[in-house]
């Protein structure tokens, strides 16, 4: 049996006709730029996230960058975030001229350790940027309290958390703004690049709308130095066809996670821990083992494709050497990144495929005579 890491063709097949018909209609009308589909998607996805304003942008990286810029965060400012995330989180901060300050992650959830934020706040700190990694939200209430007490902005990185909930509130609705990615393999993915900004703040919405279109409110009149960061109309067509299915797809991912969880009990691998306040959307299903690289190779030989998200934490990437972090700066982050393995996860995964993945993990454990849990 073959179990790919993701299989996007399975999602595409039943939606193909509708997507192609929508694309044909847009092309026939040659309305390719901030047209009716982008406008409709902005309303529909904002409503899905439970926020007042939604703005389509070119990708997740620009969603975060534009939010920071709209909040006038830039050179001389510090933004507290995590090192255990995709590089784009830190890139967005650096692209504004501000400096990312990395806080440790929680050893159980692998998300921002909110108890460690306050010790990193300086007179330069302007914002906290929590990342709802793997589809589970950060413990937001204490984080929002800290932000309120210190007058800091909160920007949620929701690029892996479309539809995730914290105490009934959706990712992207809790901070001053949320940034989403519609990269093709996300829980809601375009057929190319795409991104989205959510906010309940009218002024932030007005500014990011201008920033995504060269800082312009009226054609050829530029009030801000902005970006070319528009969501294109053809991506919006596909995203609108997919959005009504997102809640069901997320529910399927949760069911798959539950099956993995049950089957992996009593094996020497740590399964994801979901906090009671959370309803995650399992963008990724990530286990932990000290034998990560060996297990990954073993599974690959047997047709099971896995990933590592992410093998090198940002603070140890060459690109940000100038920030001065060293191995040992963030011990929890460094340990976790050396042990994580993302198992196949997508809505259309079958029970048989999950069983096959776990069967092979069991065989690996037996052959290696691994016993004690971790």
Ligand X SMILES: Cc1ncc(COP(=O)(O)O)c(C=O)c1O
Judged by the rule CB under 6 A, the positions of this chain that interact with ligand X are 59-61, 85-86, 88-89, 131, 157, 159-160, 181, 183, 195
Q: Are 126 and 78 in contact (CB under 8 A)?
A: yes
Which residue in the shown chain puts its C-beta closest to ligand X?
A: 60
**Half-sphere exposure for 131 (CA within 13 Å, toward CB):** 31
Q: How far is the CB of 184 from ligand X (least distance, A)?
A: 9
Between CA 153 and CA 216 the distance in angstroms is 24
Instruction: Report residue 350 CA to chain centroid gap.
Output: 24
Burial (0-12, 13-18, 19+ Cβ within 10 Å), 268: middle
Q: Which residues pair with 169 in a beta bridge?
A: 166
Q: How far is the CB of 180 from ligand X (least distance, A)?
A: 8
Q: How far is the CB of 46 from ligand X (least distance, A)?
A: 18
Q: How far is the CB of 178 from ligand X (least distance, A)?
A: 11
Between CA 295 and CA 314 the distance in angstroms is 24
> Nearest-CA neighbor of 192 among 237, 156, 244?
237
Compute the CA torsion angle 139, 144, 146, 149 (nearest 10 deg). -160
Backbone phi and psi for residue 343, each to the nearest 5 degrees, phi listed first: -85, 165
Q: How far is the CB of 132 from ligand X (least distance, A)?
A: 8
Minimum CB distance to ligand X smaller for 88 or for 343: 88
Q: How far is the CB of 186 from ligand X (least distance, A)?
A: 7
Q: Which residues pair with 166 in a beta bridge?
A: 169, 278
């Amino acid at each position: 049996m073959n179990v790919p890491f993701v299989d996007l063709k399975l999602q595409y097949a039943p939606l193909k006709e509708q997507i192609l018909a929508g694309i044909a209609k847009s092309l026939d009308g040659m309305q390719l730029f901030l047209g009716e589909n982008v406008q409709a998607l902005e309303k529909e996805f904002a409503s899905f996230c439970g926020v007042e304003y939604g703005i389509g942008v070119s990708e997740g990286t620009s969603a975060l960058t534009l939010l920071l810029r709209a909040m006038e965060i830039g050179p001389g400012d510090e933004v507290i975030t995590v090192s255990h995330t995709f590089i784009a989180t830190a890139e967005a901060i650096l692209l504004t001229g501000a400096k990312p300050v990395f806080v440790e992650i929680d050893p159980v959830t692998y998300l921002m350790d909110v108890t460690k934020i306050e010790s990193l706040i300086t007179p330069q700190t302007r914002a906290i940027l929590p990342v709802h990694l793997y589809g589970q939200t950060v413990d937001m209430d204490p984080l929002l309290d800290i932000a309120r007490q210190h007058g800091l902005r909160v920007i949620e990185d929701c690029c892996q958390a479309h539809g995730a909930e914290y105490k009934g509130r959706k990712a992207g609705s809790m901070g001053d703004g949320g940034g989403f990615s519609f990269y093709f393999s996300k829980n809601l993915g375009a057929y190319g690049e795409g991104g989205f900004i959510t906010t309940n703040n009218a002024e932030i919405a007005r500014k990011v709308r201008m920033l995504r279109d060269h800082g312009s409110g009226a054609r050829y009149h530029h009030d801000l130095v902005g970006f070319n960061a528009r969501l294109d109309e053809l991506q919006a067509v596909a995203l609108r066809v997919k959005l009504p299915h997102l809640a069901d797809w997320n529910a399927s991912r949760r069911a798959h996670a539950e099956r993995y969880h049950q089957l992996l009990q009593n094996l020497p691998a740590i399964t994801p821990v979901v906090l009671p306040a959370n309803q995650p959307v399992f963008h990724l299903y990530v286990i932990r083992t000290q034998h990560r690289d060996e297990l990954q190779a073993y599974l690959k030989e047997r047709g099971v494709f896995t990933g590592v998200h992410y093998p090198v934490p940002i603070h140890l990437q060459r690109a940000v050497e100038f920030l001065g972090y060293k191995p040992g700066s963030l011990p929890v982050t460094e340990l976790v990144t050396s042990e994580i393995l993302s198992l196949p996860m997508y809505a259309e995964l079958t029970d048989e495929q999950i069983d096959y993945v776990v069967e092979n993990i069991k065989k690996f454990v037996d052959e290696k005579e691994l016993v004690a849990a971790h």
